[in-house]
Amino acid sequence: MSDAKQTRYVLGGARVLPVMASLLLAAGHAPTAEAGATFKIDDTKWVSIGAGLRTSFQAAEQGAGASGDKWSNDFNLDNIRLYLNGQIHKYLKVEFNTDCQTCSNGGEVRVLDAIGKIEYNPYVNLWVGRMLVPAERREMNGPFYSAIYNIFSSGTPFESADFNLTIKSDGTSAGSFGRDDGATFWGAAFDGRFQYAVGFFRGLRGGANIDDNILYAQRFAFNFLEVEKNPGYYTSGTYYGKGGDILTVGVSNQYQEDGAGTATDAGNFRGTSVDVLFEKVLGNSGVITVNGEYKNYGISDGYSQASRDAGGGFAMFEGDAYDVSGMFLFPQKIGIGQFQPYLRYVNVAPGGSSDRNSYEGGVNYIIDGHNARVSLSWEYGDLMTKGLNYTSTADGDNVNAVKLGFQWQI
């Protein structure tokens, strides 16, 4: 799940110590595109810091199996991220970000990104370390730069690197939070309109992948109107009209031999996605935003339905999935922010299992773009109850859920 956006566009992050307040008075500043707080060391060296918080309350219907008219009530710390970025040479940079993974179960602060960067020109650059695996826009947005708060919890199935919250070597993990260890070449051409990212990663560790085959990942996008401007190969789900009129189509693909299944019933994993972002700024400064995504995932040469039903191995999704949303940002400011109502529909159709759907409606209150917003949503469907269960016996009720989410970044 991305969130590596540089602190406000230099993806920053680190522990914000009290001493930084005094350092800030003495340190120079990089341009505002590199804030959070950026500390200039000399003409080519700097360090930036920042942080991000997402926390929510959700009330969810328990379904037909619950006694009476039962609803759950949960407060969740969804993310707390600390960002650190630096430049040590004109062409050499470093990025280090942490997150509180499994926050709702007490949480552990773990490495999210650890990237060494060689950024030479707009056409060819290289990142090495632990980073986002090139994938569809939702993954490249991450939770902090998506247009909808529930982008993952009520969305389409995960890629390999997003399937497990922690990185393990027992055949149950191929990364964490959309990240994996590897290398990515990225860049742009034709005045930035054509953008690409091509990566090579460890992928599934152990289990079905006894031969240590690597995972190949690619993303290609074309900007038909204004060129989207983001750090590296990251993306955003909306620019709140500040990026002009946008129409971008992206295609991504991931492949790993023996990337799914078990050691005795391995299969080759392939995940292909197409995504579209359309954003139109109207004459009255209102903003229409539409996001669309289609996925087709398959496992070849093994991993039978019987193994999946038995609950064994790395049970990646097979089948098709759709996610489409539309929203409108009202130009008028009410209080300290603007209202942005939205609608969303998600359909997941696994091979060998039952379909599942999610209908969602809500409103965002935009205070400072992706840096400060409040979201209220209503969701209905059986996607919440069937979840990641792709067995032939998967069953679940259509239920309602209401969520209030808060997001802050600096």
What domains, with CATH codes, occur in the chain? Answer: 19-409 (2.40.160.10)
Contacts of 384 (CB under 8 A, 6+ apart): 60, 154, 358, 396, 399, 401
| Residue 4 zone, left/alpha/beta (φ > 0; ψ -120 to 50; rest) | beta
Instruction: Please report, for residues 258, 271, 302, the alpha-carbon distance to residue 213 in angstroms, rounded to integers and kept in the order given.
Output: 7, 16, 16
Q: Compute CA 399 distance to the chain's CA centroid, rounded to the nearest angstrom.
A: 25
d(CA 195, CA 201): 20
Each of the 410 residues of the chain gets a pLDDT tens digit; together they read: 444 454 433 333 333 333 333 333 333 323 333 446 889 999 899 999 999 999 999 999 987 665 557 899 999 999 999 999 999 999 999 999 999 877 767 778 899 999 999 999 999 999 999 999 999 999 999 999 999 999 998 899 999 999 888 888 999 999 999 999 999 999 999 999 999 999 999 999 999 999 999 999 999 999 999 999 999 999 999 999 999 999 999 999 999 999 999 999 999 999 999 999 999 999 999 999 999 999 999 999 888 887 888 877 898 999 999 999 999 999 999 999 999 999 999 999 999 899 999 999 999 999 999 999 999 999 999 999 998 888 889 999 999 999 999 999 99
Tokens 């050499």 appear where?
92
Residue pair 61/77 in contact by the 8 Å Cβ criterion: no
Provide φ and ψ at 14, rounded to 5°: -175, 175
Task: For residue 42, give both structure tokens.
Answer: 């000399």
Q: What is the pLDDT of residue 281?
A: 98
Helix spans in 16-169 (H) = 19-26, 137-141
Q: What is the pLDDT of residue 4?
A: 45
Q: What is the pLDDT of residue 28?
A: 37
- Beta strand residue intervals within 224-264, DSSP E: 246-262
Peptide bond into 107 cis (omega under 30): no
How many C-beta atoms lie closer than 10 Å to residue 18's C-beta? Answer: 6
Q: Which of 371, 307, 388 is nearest to 336 (CA)?
A: 371
CA-based torsion, 309, 356, 138, 188: positive or negative: positive
Query: What is the greatest pairwise CA distance in the chain?
Result: 67
Q: What is the pLDDT of residue 68?
A: 55
Q: What is the pLDDT of residue 5?
A: 53
* Residue 113, CB-side half-sphere exposure with 13 Å CA sphere: 30
